[in-house]
Structure 1
């Protein structure tokens, strides 16, 4: 099956593979093998780069040795890091983007994502990122309840990014397509489909209240129906701003889309 020809363009290259990060914590060699297997599967069109921390880059290089070049998004550990010395295409690794706090040396062909707390994403902050030719990374979850931004905070961040002309990616807490409360932790998780719908509202000039309402919707059928109303032109605009999100499981979001009828059912057996 050529999934790229039949899947909704909203889902293409949406899932950055962060399998080695918590809570997945998949061993490096196993994570690389699984990523390569997905690249050769019907899931490939939905797959983004493999996400790896700078501290584990040598470990990754050993895991990819002898195989095809692996596209990687590199996570930096601290503000002030200089990535200019990292080759864009070292042996077996193609660093296509860097992400983290403020850093230098991330230009050229790489996309540079600077992580900013959602409550600090203002028009002024976004303008500074735009002037620096940087993109925005927004954290949407973690191991504590306060790591999850409220609908209001995330809505303000999305609105500021879109209106300010800065593309963004999200990370953490987005395995499920629909906003929900985790029964084990009690944490309220954002849904990645909610974010897509919210971004569509922002693109179309919606205000922060409309965007927040889209983020808060926990009715899966209603959110899925809203997804189906996004035409190809609007989909391209949405994804030009909402680039991707990091997930330690690619299978979970795919299963969620299948359960909502938003992917071909044949994929359930082929994936």
Structure 2
């Protein structure tokens, strides 16, 4: 008898961190916490990573958890100076189980200088067993040789410290979106160092696209997955950037088709996900729908669930 295909293949396991509380979704805590529990109990649970908790929402989420354990990653965007106090407040909420901390950069010095201060704060404050993730401040000109050198220095620092990197790939203004060349430098640099990284913001769909409402061109999370695969196989920066610029979902899906493998196997898929670990999404159902449409996961029925934290759902409520 043939082995049954998993609904969510290992290539996609834990890819989507639940950022329902963050822009542009900005879901209320009363909707986001039960929705996350629903995702974690659904047939696509293996796709869903931890609940991302902003430091300013600790009390609200702690109350909403109502004594039932909730795995969280604490996001401290205010920088190293805010870390200790945020961890103290989280520790007072025993239902919130800390899996990791994503620490934002402060504004002084170079990206490497800011990353060094994050490294030092995490070395002092990070509880045992929690993962440390440092958000890199994007270089002032990521497309220049100087910008690439600044990024390389920051990546060297994180790799030496055994930390993970986080990079912003979008936002509410056009300059918040890095070019394909800048993002290719990040992907290639992490692949060369076997440095785990995640992305956040702007990755609303699997494939690169232009939002007709804003005119902003968004990176696709599937593009980043395929670009990481290309970089790990030795592709040059320009070739990695071409993968990031691809707008053909079928091409990207085909490029990754032979990557899925059994958990724990020493395979191409394992190597790829060890580097590109996850991305934050304010809607779990958007990537779910995209991946199902591309045939990269198997859904057990024809209809996909409604997401109570999706902005469209909240607007109608």
Give TM-score, length-normalised by structure 1.
0.92
C-alpha distance after superposition, 1:221-266 (max 9, x if no partner): 1111112132531111110011100000000010011111222142
2:76 aligns with: 76
Distance in 2 of aligned mates of 1:235 and 1:88: 36
The count of aligned residue pairs is 268
The change in CA–CA distance for 1:37 and 1:211 in structure 2 (over 3 A counts) is same
Task: Say whether the 8 Å CA contact 1:140–1:147 is kept in structure 2.
Answer: yes
1:7-156 equivalence runs, <5 A: 7-67=8-68, 69-80=69-80, 81-83=82-84, 85=88, 90-99=93-102, 100-101=104-105, 102=118, 103-104=121-122, 105-106=125-126, 108-118=128-138, 119=142, 122-156=151-185
Matched residue of 1:59: which SS? helix
Bigger-Rg structure (1/2): 2
Structure 1 SS opposite 2:72: strand
- Greater shift after overlay, 139-148 or 223-232? 223-232
Distance in 2 between the 1:53 and 1:229 partners?
37
Structure 1: tracts of 5 or more residues without a match: none
TM-score after normalising by structure 2: 0.79
Q: 1:187 aligns with which of 212, 216, 222?
A: 216
1:257 is aligned to 2:277: no
Greater share of residues in strand: 1
Give structure 2 stretches of 5+ with no counterpart. 106-117, 262-266, 306-317
- For residues 197 and 301 of structure 2, the distance between their equivalents in structure 1, rounded to whole angstroms, comes to 28
Give the counterpart of 1:204 among 216, 225, 233. 233
Structure 1 residues 86 and 237, CA gap change in structure 2 (3 angstroms) = farther
Where 1:170 maps in the other structure, the secondary structure is: strand
Find the aligned partners of 1:96 and 1:159 in 2 and give their Cα distance: 27
Q: CA RMSD in A?
A: 2.0
After TM superposition, the runs of 4+ consecutive aligned structure 1 residues lying more than 4 A away are: 86-90
